[in-house]
Amino acid sequence: MTGGWTVSIGLPPDLREPAAQLYWQAFGPKLGVVMGPEPRALALLRGVMRADHVAIATAKDGTLLGLAGFKTPKGSFAMGNPAALRQFYGPWGGLWRKYLLGLLSSEVDNVNFLIDGICVAPHARGQGIGTALLHALYDQAKARGYNAVRLDVIATNTRAQKLYRREGFVQTQHHDIGLLRFVFGFVRSVTMVRGV
C-alpha cells in the first residue's frame, strides 16, 4: 500500500462497472465515434474486459482509482473481438467497427510487453498512482520473460509523455493515422519503449 491506496493485478467482479466507466472517461473521446453510443460502449467494455490483463489501484475503501491494461497473445484488457462486436453492435455495426479498430491497432508485439491503456481518475491524479501502475506492469513483463515494455500515446498528450519519459521510456517512432484522424480525433501517436 502506498499513500492510502493499493496496486494489484486483476479486476474483481464488483469493479467491472467502475473500470468500464473510468476506461470510457479516459478513452471515449478517442473511441466515441466508433464505439458509441456511450451506453452500448459501456456494455461492450463490461462484457469484454479481461480481468487477468489489468493492474488496478484501489483506495482503502475499495474505490477504483486507476487501471493499466496490457496485451498478450491471449488477448487485451478492453478490445472486443469480432464476435463481441457483432453481439453488441449487430452484424453490420460489428463489421465496420472491427475494420476501423483493426486499422488503428490490432498488433501483438512478440518482443515487447504491450501496455494497452492506462488511466487514473481525475480526483486521484498527482499522487503517484500512474507510476505505481506502470511499475506493476514492469513486474508483469519481467515475470512473463520480456526485456522491455512498449506503449503508444497520442502525440498531443504531453502530460502522459512527461510521466513516461520520467520513467525512462524513449520514443522509438511515431505514426500518422492519415484519414483516420477524422474518425478518432487525433493525428499522430508516439511509440515509447522502456527496458525492464
- Domains of the chain, by residue range, sit at 5-195
Q: What 3-state class would DSSP assign to 20?
A: helix
Per-residue pLDDT of the chain (196 residues; tens, 9 = 90+): 556 899 999 999 999 999 999 999 998 888 778 888 899 999 999 999 999 999 999 999 999 999 999 998 888 898 778 888 899 989 998 888 888 877 766 566 668 999 988 999 999 999 999 999 999 999 999 999 999 999 989 888 888 899 999 999 999 988 776 666 666 667 688 899 999 9
Determine the pLDDT at residue 31.
Answer: 79
Report the phi/psi class of residue 20: left, alpha or beta, with left for phi > 0 and alpha for psi in -120 to 50. Answer: alpha
The CATH homologous superfamily for domain 5-195 is Gcn5-related N-acetyltransferase (GNAT) (3.40.630.30)
CA pair distance 149, 136, nearest whole angstrom: 12
| Cis peptide bond N-terminal to 37, omega within 30 | yes
- Helices 16-35/38-48 angle, 10° precision: 130
The reported pTM is 0.88
Q: Confirm if 149 and 191 have CB atoms less than 8 A apart.
A: no
